[in-house]
Amino acid sequence: MKLYHLLMYILILSFSLSASAQTVLVLSGGGTRGFAHIGVIRALEEADIQPDLIIATSMGAIIGGLYAAGYSSHEILYILQNTDLRNEIRNIPQQQYIPIPQKHLSPTPIFTLQFGSDFRPQMPSSLLEAQVIYTKLSPFIAPKLQSASGNFDKLPIPIRVVASDLLTGESVVFSEGNLVKAIKASASVPLAFAPVPHEGTLLIDGGITDNLPILPEYIGDDDFVIASDATSPLFTAEDLNSPINIGLQVVGHTIEARKQKRRKRADLLIHAPAESQSHREAGDIFQYIDLTYRKTAEALKTDFPALGFAQDKDTTAKKSPVPIETIHVLGNTNTRDGFITRHSHIQKGDTLSPEGIEHSINTIYGTGLFSTVNVYAESDTLLIEVEEKKRLRLSFGSRVDNYYNAEFFLAPEIGNLWGVGTKIQAYIQYGKHREKYALNIMGSLPVATQVRNDYIFQSYLSAKDIIRHSERDTIVTDSDRHDTLSLVSYDETRISKLGFLFSGGLDFNNTIQCLGGVKFESATISRSTDIQIPALDNNFHTYFWGSLIAETLDKEPFSTTGSRHVFWLISGARNLNLPSSSLLFAGNHTRAFSFPNEHVVFIPSLEYLWVDQTPTITNSNYLGGSRHRRLHTPSDVNITLPLAGLEDNALSIDKALLLTFKKRLRLRDSDFYLSNYLDILSLWDAGTSRTPRELAEQKSLGIETELSLDTPVGPVRFSWATLLKNNLPEETKTIPSSLIRFSLGHSF
């Protein structure tokens, strides 16, 4: 009998020990190879195995953090797949969250240099800021973390996130606090992403110290460890042909030595498939995930068939959403709390939601005042954590094309004055054909949630703007030397303007802007020839204008969805002679339609221009020029409509209607785009009218084919265009049969 009781005691004890054993999932780093973890999670889901604990680092922390928050493998893939990594890794805010004045009044720089309060340049500690971590993960994780009161053990699956201490070289393990910030620290690859400050130290990628974190302090002897290793393999001798690869190899040896010890504790070790061995290329993501899934599922069925005992262990307390009672801003020293909180879409009394967090982060980041923005909650307190940019900045941009040649701009500025985002900017633009100098004071004050008051003061000098440029070959015979000379004759019309303007209006949700203003301007005309321009020098004009912009385009310059509608109404008087004032009405309507995978985009547009009287040369509007120009702004010299096959500013126009059909094809998954345009144009003079039938009969047709490449310094474009049907005035009959254009860089 005693022997029976002893056997029963041993059996019960063994069962108790077995019941207390955990299933631990360990997810390594590995960059894009880390997508293999999604395949592992998918196989576990189908086998009805939910881990009791996740330990993750780097890319594994990103995927593991979403899994711990309760998202399935399919949901994780959807979240990560729907990310515009190209723009977000460049720290470019999403287009729909940028204030409209900032989109169109500030040219896109190649780089911006920041200066400290001592006027010393602040060199960046990394190439990128990794705002994309906050932008994409906080909306999904922050509500779950609020329900868990910031305790990682109370999430649907407990998790530990591993980062590296840059000062001591030791691993740092997070078990509570801000999970998204811990993930950001764990995934901060040195040089690429900035270190994350934490409790007096700096944290970087956890894979540097432990890329397969099978941590013995969190794993018992009876625990079952499933480890997913997505680390890139070491390079072969043929691959060690660059300093970068050699540096990666040195770091790789250190990581590999530690991993060898960690692997011994894994009960089930899943290696990322060999189909993607490169540090740079992950291959087709879906195929890669599927290969890992099949590899894991096979291992679970054949090598470890007894693992089916695991059940769904989501014991997270189900809590009702907690309304926000207070809002605190962290990290700001120059920006006022109220300025930041008014940009938040979550206010007192609201509950935390993925949509509210996403809009709040993007809207605050879209102001351009902050390097990083994160939004999360602790109990009933909403926390908005920001890292401010320096107030003193210098932006530089340049572009090259075969009309304006090389141009550049410098824009030193003092930003975020009075803590409300106002900036004073000096603008210097120089090139062979254009010069402009301006002093701008501009800002956008939130007056209510999603409503802002935009204002602009600008004084400017367009010292030189060549609105007409022509070259003519001339053959000259020298009778004394009995030979001929080939000469090139240039004829240029230059306009210089000195002016001051003020405008103000309202911006609704970065989508609709109503603007009005006044401009005082003096203009001077000159030509490179001796041709006199009578009664046109030193003209003084006063302009009053109103504009309405409604814009939802998803990105620039390669939009895939959305629309833009622009209306301009301008009244101008010469020398304050209001009875003789002219009236101009112009508009632009564009809509983008994308087809599967956004590889094919169809973009029709309609542009029109109407003036009630023929303008003078100082305020003429022109036909011909690049179709990739900036949107018209009040200080621009004139309004220009493009037409395929027509040179820049080839014809002064009074009334015009231009319909354009554009089809753009993205070449595979590259950054190359092939675009085809069809322009249909009708013209008529001021003081005349035409019936719709006459407009159709007198139309001109042009076609253009363009090859573009999207680069970090702006698009590179090559295009060929020609006029198929020319019903333009006689002065354009000598245009070339075809026109070739080249440009590099953003328009400004």
Catalytic amino acids? 58, 205
Q: What residues does 482 pair with on adjacent strands?
A: none
Check the CA dihedral 200-201-206-209 and report its sign.
negative
What values do phi and psi take at 384, rounded to 5?
A: -110, 110
Q: How many CA atoms lie within 13 A of 238 on its CB side?
A: 1
Q: How far is it, in rounded angstroms, from Cα 675 to Cα 681?
A: 19
List the structure tokens of 159: 């998790």
Selection from 423, 422, 412 nearest residue 115 by Cα: 412
Q: Would you say 185 and 166 are in contact if contact means Cβ atoms under 8 Å apart?
A: no
User: 3-state class of 304 per DSSP?
Assistant: coil
CA distance 356 to 341: 13
First to last CA, the chain: 95
Please give the Cα distance from 731 to 302 (Å, whole number): 82
Q: What residues contact residue 398 under an 8 Å CB cut-off, 6+ apart? A: 110, 406, 407, 408, 409, 745
Q: Give the Å distances, CA to CA, from 204 to 223, 288, 324.
A: 29, 27, 32
What residues does 297 pair with on adjacent strands?
none
CA distances to 187, 473, 474, 568 from 488, rounded to whole Å, are 60, 5, 6, 40
Q: Is the peptide bond before 412 cis (omega within 30 degrees of 0)?
A: no
* Token reading at 716: 């590179």
**Strand pairing class (224-229; 268-271):** parallel
C-alpha 456/C-alpha 105 separation (Å) is 10
Instruction: Return phi, psi of residue 671, to 5°.
Output: -100, 15
Long-range contacts of 93-96 (CB under 8 A, 24+ apart): 93/362, 93/365, 93/366, 93/368, 94/362, 94/366, 94/554, 94/555, 95/553, 95/554, 95/555, 95/556, 96/362, 96/510, 96/511, 96/552, 96/554, 96/562
Contact 316, 148 (CB under 8 A): yes
Any residues with CB less than 8 A from the CB of 551 and at least 6 apart, and which?
Answer: 100, 103, 511, 512, 562, 563, 564, 565
Name the token pair of 675. Answer: 């675009």
CA 70 to chain centroid, in Å, comes to 29
Which H/E stretch holds residue 522?
A: strand 512-527
Beta strands in 259-391 (DSSP E): 268-271, 326-330, 370-378, 381-388
Which two structure tokens, joined as six digits, stand for 691? 């019936």
SS3 assignment for 98-153: CCHHHHHHCCCCCEEEEECCCCCEECCCCCECCHHHHHHHHHHHHHHHHHCCCEHH
Q: Are the C-beta atoms of 706 and 364 separated by less than 8 Å? A: no
Distance CA 234, CA 516 (A): 62
Structure tokens at 348: 């007192």
Cα–Cα nearest to 549, from 632, 623, 447: 632
